[in-house]
Amino acid sequence: MGNLRALSLVLSVAVLGGALTSCDNGSQAAAKAAADQVSKALSALDVSQAPLSGTDPSAAQTRLKAIVEGLGDVKPSVSAGQATTSNGTTTVPFDFRWKLSGREWTYTTTARLAQNGDKWTVEWSPTLLAPGLQSGEVLVADTKAPPRADILGAGDAKLVTDRPVLRVGIDKTKVVAQDQDASARALATLVGLDPADYAKQVASAGAKAFVEAIVLRDAPGRTPTDQQITAVSGAVLLGDTLPLAPTRTFARAVLGTVGQATAEQIQKSNGALQAGDETGTGGLEEQYDDELRGQEGVTVYAVASPDAGGAPSSASPSASPASSAKPSPSSSAAAKRQLFAAAPVPGTSLRTTLDPRLQQIAEDALAKVGPASAVVAIRPSDGSVLAAASGPGSNGYNTAMLGQYAPGSIFKTVDSLALLRGGATPDLSVECAPTLTVDGKTFQNATGYPSAHLGTITLRDAYAHSCNTAFISQRDKVSQEQLQGTAASLGVGVDGGVLGAPAFLGSVPGDATSTEHAASMIGQGKVLFSPLSAAVMAASVEKGGVVAPRLVLSGGEKDAPTAPASGSPSGSAAATASASPRASAVSKPVTQAESGTLRDMMRAVVTSGHAGFLMSVPGAPVGAKTGTAEFGSDNPPKTHAWIIGVQGDLAVAVFVDEGGLGATISGPILTDFLTKAGQ
């Protein structure tokens, strides 16, 4: 009796197993193949050729397109599982994975398979596309962007934060049709736009559209005024906020700006950005956009489609899940079911070392300088970049950190350290001749060099008055390789690894011909500095050790390469890996004793040299070195004007392209900066 029961149990299990997997291996393979074809078709959002039953594939394609249209221009990743049969019904699971505004929506649906002879098909049903999706429903994604995080300065001062703005434009509902063209042209003229172009935009917009002309800071003294704007028929002002710096020009080249994503940015974002998204452009705003922007929240609803007599499924056929922070029209419809939700993730504020007061002082000092120009200020004790201003003549380029120019006589600071290491002292007698010829090339002193300081003078005096021929005469005591190593001792060309932004940190070649070596002794030839690297050199002298500049306090070195030497200030540094040595790899950093001697020589530039104008600066004693670097083929040649200065725990570099003499052009800028910085 027991054996009969056991046999009955075995037979029952066998029958049940046959019910669960009634297909033979060949049929299972065919069913799986059909399911795989459909999963690939769903991944492509094109089922027009898929093995479907229950409807014509072309009709299924039309319905599929309508169902997913509200999710935007995205496609899912779909994979089919193993087909199984139970009670005569064969089913297959489909695993869906959507990436909507960078958020993943995953789920599994179950589809029925049908067999006709040796041919298998997947039965079409809305539930194939999303769990519980009903006939007449479509999918719609609403997005909500979190507030963009701030860029902070020293003491966590808000450098870039949401500030009030006014969106100015024509509201076509507030002006009769025949007057719209005249109103558009009048408003465009008032705000400085092309009247014809703006009139075309207004004419082509919908009958109830608001056509934005310009966004203005909502600040006292603004022009045009509210009264001037609203005097134009149909012109309105809409209050809003935007991430902005304190002024339009404040550290713009360093910080960047925030605006609507361009087509190029959207294409490069791999789905993270959609039309209408705000994103960073240039500077830190672009470099750290992911952190600052955070992640949009996404909610997916099943709603009744217009064809089914329900609410509209999306704002437009091209609507995308990240196209706006505003909900689509469907979101306000009563009949909707939530299928997925991911909350917005706030961005992370970016902390920097920029001192807003010193940055503004630097920008004010450059406000009336015509050529490209820069002021960079560093705190030697910790390397913090306190100001990095590029003047209006830089036309938006980050001259302060990326410019590449011959440094001229400020490089004599490197020469002096190299000579000191070779046994020289500031009292070393050197010969300052009016001219000096090296292998057929004649070098001379800068225009206006004082004749009283020609002849045999001390190294200190040659440095203070910047005698080119005296330093070139010492070229045999310092090799080109030694110049390169000594420059690194003062932080030139050294990647400290903590700046957090693209920069050119200087370049000194290790090999040179005899004339190039002579030119290197006066900061020309192939020697290149940025204003930042000049400030680093001055800071290293003040500190008595290699200063590693730092700007970004959170985010570190991410995407912050060092620019290579290219000889062109317009070369981009953003995609070039640094070949510069790390600060920790500098073989012989400047010592306290060496720095003390260099500081005394820099002080002599002020007390007995041609930077005596700095004696008027209140506070701690100022040390300095001027520089004038010739470039180009003009006769007389154009010159770059440099000056570096140190005062207490502050090191500053000033640069003016095509600026004449360092003392007369850059000197007053440094005087102005240090005087106001100390107030």
From the list 381, 362, 412, 377, the residue with the least C-alpha distance to 542 is: 381
**304-313, 454-463, 661-670: the lowest-pLDDT one:** 304-313
Q: Can you tell me the mean pLDDT for 525-547?
A: 97
In percent, the amount of the chain with pLDDT more than 90 equals 74
pLDDT given at position 271: 67
**pLDDT higher than threshold 90 for residue 517:** yes
pLDDT given at position 635: 77
**CA–CA distance, 645 with 282 (Å, rounded to integer):** 30
* DSSP string for residues in 465-486: HT-HHHHHTTGGGS-HHHHHHH
pLDDT given at position 661: 79
**CA–CA distance, 387 with 352 (Å, rounded to integer):** 11
pLDDT given at position 630: 85
Both tokens assigned to 516:
């190039």
**CA–CA distance, 336 with 29 (Å, rounded to integer):** 39
To which H or E segment does residue 545 belong? none
Q: How confident is the model at residue 165 (pLDDT cuts 50, 70, 90)?
A: very high
Residue in this structure with the two tokens 């009048």, named with its chain if needed: 186
Q: 357 by DSSP, 3-state: which?
A: helix
Which residue type occupies 275? A
Per residue in 524-560, is it b (16+ CB within 10 Å) or e — as a string?
bbbbbbbbbbbbbbbbbbbbbbbbbbbbbbebebeeb
The residues, ordered by sequence, that sit 6+ positions from 331 with a Cβ below 8 Å of its Cβ are 140, 142, 299, 301
Contact 38, 52 (CB under 8 A): yes
Both tokens assigned to 660:
């004449």
SS3 sequence of 614-661: HHHCCCCCEEEEEEEEEECCCCCCEEEEEEEEEECCCEEEEEECCCCC
CA angle 361, 366, 370 (to 5 degrees): 170
Q: How confident is the model at residue 93 (pLDDT cuts 50, 70, 90)?
A: very high
pLDDT given at position 263: 81
* DSSP string for residues in 255-273: H-EEEEPPHHHHHHTTTS-
* DSSP string for residues in 26-95: HHHHHHHHHHHHHHHHHHTT--TTS-EESS-HHHHHHHHHHHHTBT-S---EEEE---EEETTEEEEEEE
pLDDT given at position 377: 98
Question: Phi/psi of residue 167, each to 5°?
Answer: -90, 120
**CA–CA distance, 324 with 313 (Å, rounded to integer):** 15
pLDDT given at position 559: 39
From the list 251, 241, 260, 261, the residue with the least C-alpha distance to 284 is: 251
Other beta carbons less than 10 A from residue 597's beta carbon: 18
Describe the crossing of helices 412-421 and 480-489 by its angle, rounded to 10 degrees: 100
**CA–CA distance, 253 with 388 (Å, rounded to integer):** 9
Residues 608, 613, 615, 619: is their CA dihedral positive or negative? negative
Q: 12 by DSSP, 3-state: which?
A: helix
pLDDT given at position 1: 45
Contact 141, 72 (CB under 8 A): yes
Average pLDDT of every residue of the chain = 87
**pLDDT higher than threshold 90 for residue 384:** yes
Q: Can you tell me the mean pLDDT for 643-657?
A: 97
pLDDT given at position 398: 98
**pLDDT higher than threshold 90 for residue 117:** no
Contact 544, 595 (CB under 8 A): yes
Contact 78, 107 (CB under 8 A): no
Q: Can you tell me the mean pLDDT for 25-29?
A: 72
**CA–CA distance, 611 with 625 (Å, rounded to integer):** 8
Q: How confident is the model at residue 28 (pLDDT cuts 50, 70, 90)?
A: confident
pLDDT given at position 274: 73
Q: Which fold has domain 356-677?
A: Beta-lactamase (3.40.710)
Chain-centre distance of CA 452, in angstroms?
52
**pLDDT higher than threshold 70 for residue 574:** no
Q: Can you tell me the mean pLDDT for 267-292?
A: 85
pLDDT given at position 314: 39
pLDDT given at position 603: 98
**75-89, 496-510, 624-638: the lowest-pLDDT one:** 624-638
Q: Can you tell me the mean pLDDT for 358-380?
A: 97
CATH number assigned to the domain with residue range 17-134, chosen from the 4 options 3.30.1370, 3.10.450, 1.10.20, 1.10.3210: 3.10.450
Q: Is 652 exposed, middle or buried (0-12, 13-18, 19+ CB in 10 A)?
A: buried
**CA–CA distance, 214 with 343 (Å, rounded to integer):** 32
Helix, strand and coil percent figures for the chain, each rounded to 5:
35, 25, 40
**226-235, 326-335, 490-499, 500-509: the lowest-pLDDT one:** 326-335
Ramachandran assignment for 308, one of left (phi > 0), alpha (psi -120 to 50 degrees), beta (any other) = alpha
Measuring CA to CA, how many Å separate 415 from each of 489, 527, 585, 672?
12, 13, 21, 28
Q: 352 by DSSP, 3-state: which?
A: strand
Contact 246, 159 (CB under 8 A): yes
DSSP letter (8 states) at residue 561: P
Identify whether 51 is preceded by a cis peptide bond (ω within 30 of 0): no
Length of the chain equals 679
Residue in this structure with the two tokens 């046959």, named with its chain if needed: 18
pLDDT given at position 307: 61
Give domain limits for the chain: 17-134, 356-677
**CA–CA distance, 299 with 586 (Å, rounded to integer):** 54
pLDDT given at position 14: 38
pLDDT given at position 456: 96
pLDDT given at position 58: 93
Both tokens assigned to 208:
């109830």
Q: How confident is the model at residue 29 (pLDDT cuts 50, 70, 90)?
A: confident
**pLDDT higher than threshold 80 for residue 57:** yes
Q: 425 by DSSP, 3-state: which?
A: coil
In percent, the amount of the chain with pLDDT more than 70 equals 87
The residues, ordered by sequence, that sit 6+ positions from 294 with a Cβ below 8 Å of its Cβ are 145, 146, 148, 149, 344, 345, 346, 347, 348
Higher-pLDDT residue of 329 and 501 is 501
pLDDT given at position 259: 85
**CA–CA distance, 34 with 623 (Å, rounded to integer):** 81
Both tokens assigned to 134:
């009903």
SS3 sequence of 510-543: CCCCHHHHHHHCCCCCCCEECHHHHHHHHHHHHH
